[in-house]
Amino acid sequence: MNKINIGNGKISASEISLGCMRINNLSKNEASRLINTALEEGINYFDHADIYGGGRSEEVFADAIDMHPSMRDKLIIQTKCGIRDGYFDFSKAHILQSVDDSLKRMQTDYIDTLLLHRPDTLMEPEEVAEAFSTLNESGKVRYFGVSNQNPMQIELLNKYLKNKIMINQLQLSITNTGMIDSGLNVNMTIDSSIDRDGSILEYCRLKDITIQAWSPFQYGFFEGIFLNNDKFPELNHKIDDIAAIHNVPNTAIAIAWILRHPAKIQPIVGTTNHKRLRDICKASQVKLTRKEWYEIYRAAGNKLP
Ligand SMILES: NC(=O)c1ccc[n+]([C@@H]2O[C@H](COP(=O)([O-])OP(=O)(O)OC[C@H]3O[C@@H](n4cnc5c(N)ncnc54)[C@H](OP(=O)(O)O)[C@@H]3O)[C@@H](O)[C@H]2O)c1
């Protein structure tokens, strides 16, 4: 498994991360198998949120690996806060409480990276800055990031933060490429030239903010998986052809496509199946050619100008 640097070398992370959103219903044995497979494959980065499974995913995770200090040292644990039942909440009180609850559920005394889950338009950045400083100085959180935020929202936060934003987790898969499409279609009058995210891809590269790709196998907003799906015949045909050339499963090509981008994007894969996870990790051995990358992009229905 290749490594990437997050935050200019502050964190050495596996280039693929295991997302733990769906592990809440796994038995202890199943979860343990999944996490240990991840570790065997070289994955050291695990993504959580306070709301996954209503908090259950964090509990299942800690229980599955019998969390203890020597195990904890091997893991980079990320969690998120800020989504509540029907509203978003970046208040200092909520951020502090959410972290305390996550620490308890994960049986640990520190979180490596804490992300603000979705923008809260009622955010007061001074309050977030106070919360982050309190968490950092008490040793409860090492580093900070956001999810689903645009450049100006990050700029606004960073104006006040002592601990600057190092990560932005965004939806990205071969079939969800808005942040790439707009950059390829500058100066055009077609839909794919519409920049909905404020050049977030280029902004994060400029600022050394690591983009993490959530739901790398899904199309739409959780509509399903594009692999082996009759709705995407041309794309699957192309992925299968390229998978045969590289002698890896199609799952690995879907992830290799994200890894090939020089922005060093970290895919957060959400499988709960340990065999599938091994297949996915083969992506780390594949470097797609420029031509292959663009062929897959076009097979997903995108046109180049
Ligand atoms: N920041 C945010 O707003 C946000 C939003 C959503 C998710 N996330 C993070 O992103 C992570 C990944 O999200 P996700 O679970 O939606 O992503 P995903 O990896 O795109 O999807 C995984 C799901 O697809 C299923 N699947 C079926 N066939 C598959 C195949 N051939 N290859 C791969 N998966 C297949 C998996 O089933 P099996 O389990 O049976 O393999 C699993 O249920 C989450 O765990 C979470 O950490 C963040």
Interval 10-47: pLDDT, tens: 999 999 999 999 999 999 999 999 999 999 999 999 99
The whole-model pTM stands at: 0.97
156 CA to centre of ligand 1 in angstroms: 30
**Rounded CA separation 128/94 (Å):** 10
Task: Determine the distance separating the centroid of ligand 1 and the alpha carbon of 215, expressed in angstroms.
Answer: 5
Residue 9 has pLDDT above 90, yes or no: no
User: Of all atoms in ligand 1, which is nearest to the CA of residue 118?
Assistant: 3
Catalytic residues: 52
Residue 176 CA to residue 192 CA, distance in Å, equals 12
Ligand 1 atom, smallest distance to 277 CA: 41
- What 3-state class would DSSP assign to 186? coil
Please state the φ and ψ torsions of residue 99, each to the nearest 5 degrees. -65, -45
Nearest residue (by CA) to ligand 1, atom 4, is 214
Name residues contacting ligand 1 (CB within 6 A). Answer: 19-22, 47, 147-148, 169, 214-218, 225, 227, 251, 268-273, 276
Tell how far the Cα of 161 is from the centroid of ligand 1, in angstroms: 31
Strand pairing class (210-214; 111-116) = unpaired
Nearest CA residue ID for atom 28, ligand 1 = 225
Looking at the CA of residue 170, tell me the nearest atom of ligand 1. 1
Mean pLDDT within 107-111: 97
* Cα–Cα distance, 129 to 278 (Å, whole number): 39
- Is the model's pLDDT at 291 over the cut of 90? yes
| Mean predicted confidence (pLDDT) in 106-126 | 98
Residues in a beta bridge with 213: 170, 267
The stretch 186-199 carries a mean pLDDT of 94
Alpha-carbon span 280 to 275, nearest angstrom: 9
CA of 39 to the centre of ligand 1 (A): 18
Residue 79: pLDDT over 90: yes
Cα–Cα distance, 78 to 141 (Å, whole number): 9
